[in-house]
Amino acid sequence: MTSRAVQYRRFGGPEVLEVVEREDPVPGDGQVLLAVRAAAVNPLDWKLRTGAMAGTDAPPEPTVPGYDVAGVVEAVGPGVADLAVGDEVLGKGANGSYAEKIVADAVRLVRKPAALAFEQASSVPVGATTAYRVLDLLGLGEGDHTGTTLVVDGASGAVGVYAVQLAVARGATVIGTASEKHQDDVRALGATPVVYGDGLVERVRALAPQGVDVALETAGKGALRDLVELTGSPDTVVTIADYPGAQELGVTFSSGGDPQDERRWLADAVVRLADGRFRTTTVVTYPLDEAGTAQDDNQHGRVAGKLVLVP
């Protein structure tokens, strides 16, 4: 059997992405075959495609982009006991998610609630699990954190929306940066909104005269130095988007976590989504053939919300 997938054989702009017909992948030990219903676009997808994070001119083999996925289990590999054919799931693909059929490690999948649309479900995994991971790094893990003030830079983004809601649920006071047009969105998440950009330190101090304890930088738009000034130390700031700034300032840069932890965090996020304790970002869909357009729109911020490919 064959199915379509998006791939690139060289690094470059969105034009290097091509839709090809390929043999359906076969699930290995601990894996399942998924019929993809939706695959979300993340900034890491196009950063890898450009080659900015590689030391060569081309990947060693054709590469299918993407991580976030929601779909239906079509086949189960050896050693998988907790998933069965027909299960609707969400999580991360093993070797790219921009395709009609992919394999995924069972440990990276959780069951999708019936009330959660596939498009919305595919937008959750990377954003939610990253939020849980970085809050742990900031000392805001499970428990009561009343009295702690957190600044989330990029509070209306894919990671920010979950970080804000989770921190608020754990008792923290949250100040969230966003553009003028997203101030109400941040407020609806439970945070006090503030506009990012020049003068951020003064604006935040006016909102939190008692001081800021910890800060999370998700946008990669130059706020890292301000966040260090606000918290008083690089040890109390984590970034997921500004690696050069992290190296310069001694801030923790976080990317990726333990699969078992991520599955537990994703399962918790899904429960919160199902019972209304979590809000998600708006989803904008594109057909699989327009993966290049979707990545380009994501890279240049042309479209608000989470961009999702639908095969």
Structure tokens at 100: 């009609």
Predicted pLDDT at 55: 75
For residue 135, which of 108, 111, 164 has the smallest C-alpha distance?
Answer: 164
Domain 2-123+281-310, second-level architecture: Alpha-Beta Complex (3.90)
CB 218 within 8 Å of CB 163: yes
In this structure, what are the phi and psi dihedrals at residue 204, rounded to the nearest 5 degrees? -70, -40
Domain ranges of the chain: 2-123+281-310, 127-253
Q: What is the pLDDT of residue 116?
A: 94
Query: 127-253 has which fold?
Result: Rossmann fold (3.40.50)
- 32-84: pLDDT as tens digits: 999 999 999 999 999 999 998 787 878 999 999 999 999 999 999 999 999 99
pLDDT digits (tens, 9 = 90+) for 176-201: 999 999 999 999 999 999 999 999 99
**Across 134-150, average pLDDT:** 97
pLDDT of residue 196: 94
Q: Once rounded to an integer, what is the mean pLDDT over residues 99-123?
A: 96
CA–CA distances in Å: residue 107 to residues 40, 94, 221, 271, 309:
19, 11, 34, 17, 23
- pLDDT per residue as tens digits for the range 247-296: 999 999 998 889 999 999 999 999 999 999 999 888 999 999 999 999 99
Rounded percentage of the chain residues whose pLDDT exceeds 90: 92
pLDDT at 90: 98
Q: In the predicted model, is pLDDT for residue 304 greater than 90?
A: no
